[in-house]
Amino acid sequence: MSVCAVVWCDRAPVARGLCKRCYARYMRGMSPETTRRYTTRETKERVCDDVTERRVAGESIADIAQSTGANESTLGKWFREWGVKPAVGKFGRSLATNQWRPWTREDAVVAYTRLDLSIAERAQILGRSYTAVAGFIGDYRQRQGDPYGIK
């Protein structure tokens, strides 16, 4: 056992004579007397409705975690378990309606051959994201075959 400046522990000493655990607590501003709040089933049931409403309203997991005292990863796990998703996408914009729809030949022709339009304009016409159209164009150029027959 090595001696830590705060407690007896079996961890290797690091900066300032503290073990890794105690040094991490020191960096977070926690004193040796401060205990970590562990999440229990009762805590989960108590905060379920409140955090669900806030997440659906679009509040970030980090903000919810800070105000409730729960860990961000714990809240993320709970939201996946409960099937909770925000009402709007990232930065307040709704997600593209057909972002998971497979590419058809007509979509591929518009995305690949309409060089008179910018990628953003092609994405708007197709109802897809800019990244999806740009990715399709890049992937299609590198393909060996021509699955849509437009090259």
Per-residue pLDDT at 9 = 58
pLDDT at 91 over 50: no
Per-state percent for the chain, helix, strand, coil, to nearest 5:
50, 5, 45
pTM above 0.85, yes or no: no
Of 87-96, 104-113, 123-132, the range with the lowest mean pLDDT is 87-96
Q: Tens digits of per-residue pLDDT, 12-44?
A: 445 456 666 676 767 777 665 665 565 677 778
In angstroms, rounded to a whole number, what is the distance separating the alpha carbons of residues 18 and 5?
A: 5
Q: Tens digits of per-residue pLDDT, 98-115?
A: 556 788 889 999 999 998
Task: Report which of residues 54 and 147 the model is more confident about.
Answer: 54
Task: Report which of residues 29 and 134 the model is more confident about.
Answer: 134
Sign of the CA dihedral with 49 first, then 54, 58, and 63 last:
negative
Mean pLDDT of 133-140: 90
Phi, psi at residue 9, to the nearest 5°?
Answer: -150, 165
Q: Tens digits of per-residue pLDDT, 36-83?
A: 565 677 778 888 889 998 888 888 888 888 888 788 888 888 888 888
Per-residue pLDDT at 35 = 58
Per-residue pLDDT at 118 = 93
- φ/ψ region of 94 (left if φ > 0, alpha if ψ in -120 to 50, else beta) reads beta
